[in-house]
Structure 1
């Protein structure tokens, strides 16, 4: 059909090069799928839209997270995924901060009532406002556990805290 003799050396070299190229292309493909940012966003939205105070955790397969007041991004070796939050704004809380307000918000995120941590509702709302303003300057941060989401209320103020 092609009139190439099977014992021709150039045919074997061409097939070898094509095979090596195919193996190289396949080995460069990711072996896992990118992290599922949409599932994390759905969990955050469900807690945020709850009628009463609620808490949830969502496990992560990502190496880094980018958490803003209205968006979330997850990154791993397999790729990057982003999702927009339907509920917002949320208050990002990160563990590596040295700010005392962030430490107080982290205590609330992990179960302390806001009335035990802050002296007044105004101090609580000031810490929330500061954390949300810092959430506008989002950067990639390492992931060391699941995403924790907590919706808390103080009088008529409802706040959704999200942290890793």
Structure 2
């Protein structure tokens, strides 16, 4: 029997080797994974936009980077880039703002803005919206993703803090720099028809040699369109004690609830008692996309972290 191989057998082996290398190269050229799903991300956002309640949703993704160029969502990783646009609704990406990202993951506004929430002179909702507006101006660039798309629609009530200022005066000293006040001029932004109560307390003004005595005066009025109130501290007292010496403490209540307080000083200047920071209405007045919902009268914003 002849065991000798044909003379051209080595050509066959070379051909087989070349084919194997080609097949291996072709296999290596195919992607080993899929690009992230931007369509699913957009759908997750749409599920919460437009809600008049506190709504949230999340989506675990495998994007390395994310870009929000509203209304388009873009995700990318080593396997490719995908894009998807929302069919309806609006949102604000808050990547890079730690407090807003925490709220997007479910933390109450009152917790992240606790100082403002506990203060009678600051509006937590207004400060939150101020940060949201700032975040809305910072988008359209690729940013590092964290693997979870968190979406939340937050309701912010309007008018929770009122701006009130006061200035004490005396008839014989219009400058307001005397040591006492018989009258107080108030300006405010409280809605017409609501009840305003002002409680003044301090040491009574009297002749020299008279013992100091703490005195209190309370005035209750209905707010009107003028936003102004002129108060005579002791209208029924014709004695020389119908005034309070500075400093004068003033507490303001609206519809029976304490709104704020402050101290009037002997300097002739008006004192801001309430709302030392922006209110929700203040923030909304500067942007056209933030408006009160016609049904709830509140602001509803959808924030997104990824």
1:76 aligns with 2:80: no
CA distance in 2, matches of 1:103, 1:140: 14
Q: How does 1:143-162 map to 2 (within 5 A)?
A: 143-155=145-157, 156-162=298-304
Larger Rg: 2
Q: Tell me the TM-score normalised to structure 1 length.
A: 0.78
Q: Determine if contact 1:114/1:154 at 8 Å carries over to the other structure.
A: no
CA distance in 2, matches of 1:159, 1:139: 23
Mapping 1:94-133, distance limit 5 Å = 94=95, 97=96, 102-115=97-110, 117=113, 119-120=122-123, 121-133=125-137
Q: Matched residue of 1:151: which SS?
A: strand
Task: Report SS of the residue matched to 2:75.
Answer: strand
Structure 1 unaligned regions, length at least 5: none
Calculate the aligned-residue CA RMSD, in Å. 2.4
What runs of 5+ residues in structure 2 fail to find an aligned partner?
Answer: 1-5, 117-121, 158-297
How has the CA–CA distance of structure 1 residues 61 and 42 changed in structure 2, closer, same or farther, with 3 Å as cutoff? same
Q: How many angstroms apart in 2 are the aligned matches of 1:11 and 1:163? A: 60
Report which structure shows greater RCO (CA 8 Å, sep ≥6).
Answer: 1
User: What is the aligned length?
Assistant: 152
Mapped to 2, the partners of 1:49 and 1:19 lie a distance apart of 57
- How many Å apart are 1:6 and its aligned residue? 9.7
Shift of 1:35: 1.3
| 1:126 Cα offset (Å) | 2.2
The CA deviation at 1:59 is 0.7
2:67–2:74 contact (8 Å) kept in structure 1:
yes
Measured at CA, do residues 6 and 43 of structure 1 come closer, stay the same or move farther in structure 2, by a change above 3 Å? farther
Structure ranking higher in helix proportion: 1
> What's the TM-score once normalised by structure 2's chain length?
0.45
- Change beyond 3 A, Cα 1:15–1:140: farther
